[in-house]
């Protein structure tokens, strides 16, 4: 029902803001967007939505957040790109309080559907040692050896969702996101992920005249990247499905980091000299999404090619950078 209350936790973030916008486009009239950040730091803020600033690590805040809700989307977490994850493991682990308290509050409030945004970082490290990685199936999360800190928090929270469903009847659904990107996301400051970081570096090199770029690692590590529009469609489909086990939500279009730089250079119309920072955080050597189950059960597959999504992302970041820097100001090409 369009009049049922939908709560988006983490609504001030990148994916959460896009989800709120998408729900509004669909005609939903009661949306509560919840985030810990001050309103002026929200990625998107909508006047026709109930916007609430709460610290969801606290149980009472979670109870206030989900009161009267029919559907709860939990996208809230303290996280960022690989640089942030590897250097802030305790902060990432503390996000377990958010999901735990939200599950407790959702159970008490008799919420109809609960969605948890997990991550491909739950997958065992020994299955991601080569750039020529075999696409990761859902079963590859066990025996458990996830990304230290962030991955362990996600895997534990998946189990919490399972047991709240089994023990208390809460209709919890879990998607394992694989590198979501797109416009209106973080592109500087240390929390940005590879697509946005590379776009920013190429743009700064182009505008500064310093035609060089620093790449973390050797550039041979492989990943897949899912455009935000595909993420939103998949998230809503999973939430209202009968799929009770965690399921992959990602693109299976594998690319090296060097290949991603090639794409952005082509979009920008420039070739850059590459310097490789081998001691920088780079994550696993290879990671890709096996979409067999989600295609079989839900008929979902990504619709946006990496090249097309990266062009949209590049154009948005370019406009932001041009607006931020007065004409003639020198740009820094240092990694951030």
Query: Per residue in 207-223, pLDDT tens?
Result: 999 999 999 999 999 99
Q: Could you tell me if 222 and 254 are in contact, meaning their C-beta atoms sit under 8 angstroms apart?
A: yes
Please give the Cα distance from 63 to 323 (Å, whole number).
40
Q: Is 73 a catalytic residue?
A: no
CA proximity to 95, closest of 110, 105, 85: 85
> How far, in Å, CA of 124 to CA of 136, rounded?
9
Distance CA 117, CA 176 (A): 6
User: What's the pTM?
Assistant: 0.92
Cα–Cα distance for residue pair 215/278, rounded to 1 Å? 8
Q: What is the pLDDT of residues 137-178, one digit of tens each?
A: 999 999 999 989 999 999 999 999 999 999 999 999 999 999
Q: What is the pLDDT of residue 335?
A: 35
Report pLDDT digits (tens) over 128-138: 888 888 899 99
Query: Which of 80-94, 131-145, 242-256, 318-332 has the least mean pLDDT?
Result: 318-332
Residue 333: what pLDDT?
Answer: 41
What values do phi and psi take at 317, rounded to 5?
-65, -40
Average pLDDT of the chain to the nearest whole number:
93
* Predicted confidence band of residue 191 (pLDDT cuts 50, 70, 90): confident
Q: What is the largest CA-CA distance in the chain?
A: 62
Q: What pLDDT is recorded for position 326? A: 66
Mean pLDDT, residues 108-122 taken together? 97
What pLDDT score does 261 carry? 98
Candidate list 73, 150, 177, 187, residue with the active-site label:
150
Chain centroid, CA 22 distance in Å:
16
> Which of these ranges, 30-39, 293-302, 317-326, has the smallest mean pLDDT?
317-326
Specify the pLDDT at position 247: 98
């Amino acid at each position: 029902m369009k009049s049922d209350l939908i709560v988006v936790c983490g609504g001030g973030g990148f994916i959460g803001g896009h989800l709120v916008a998408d729900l509004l486009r669909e005609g939903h009239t009661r949306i509560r967007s919840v985030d810990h950040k001050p309103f002026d730091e929200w990625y998107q803020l909508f006047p026709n939505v109930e916007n609430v600033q709460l610290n969801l690590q606290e149980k009472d805040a979670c109870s206030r957040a989900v009161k009267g809700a029919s559907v709860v989307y939990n996208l809230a977490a303290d996280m960022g790109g690989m640089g942030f994850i590897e250097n802030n493991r305790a902060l990432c682990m503390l996000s377990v309080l958010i999901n735990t308290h939200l599950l407790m509050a959702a159970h008490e409030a008799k919420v109809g559907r609960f969605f948890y945004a997990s991550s491909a970082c739950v997958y065992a490290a020994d299955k991601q040692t080569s750039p020529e990685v075999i696409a990761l199936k859902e079963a590859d999360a066990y025996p458990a050896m996830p990304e230290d800190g962030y991955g362990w928090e996600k895997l534990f929270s998946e189990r919490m969702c399972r047991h709240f469903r089994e023990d208390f009847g809460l209709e919890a659904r879990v998607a394992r996101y694989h590198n979501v990107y797109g416009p209106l996301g973080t592109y500087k400051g240390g929390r940005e992920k590879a697509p946005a970081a590379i776009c920013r570096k190429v743009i700064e090199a182009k505008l500064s005249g310093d035609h060089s770029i620093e790449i973390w690692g050797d550039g041979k590590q492989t990943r897949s990247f899912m455009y935000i529009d595909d993420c939103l469609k998949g998230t809503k489909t999973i939430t209202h499905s009968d799929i009770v086990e965690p399921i992959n939500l990602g693109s299976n279009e594998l690319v090296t980091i060097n290949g991603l730089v090639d794409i952005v250079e082509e979009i920008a119309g420039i070739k850059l000299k590459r310097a490789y920072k081998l001691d920088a955080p780079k994550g696993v050597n290879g990671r890709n999404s096996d979409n067999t189950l989600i295609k079989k059960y839900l008929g979902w597959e990504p619709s946006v090619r990496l090249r097309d999504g990266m062009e949209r992302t590049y154009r948005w970041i370019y406009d932001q950078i041009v607006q931020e820097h007065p004409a003639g100001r020198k740009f820094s090409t240092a990694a951030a």
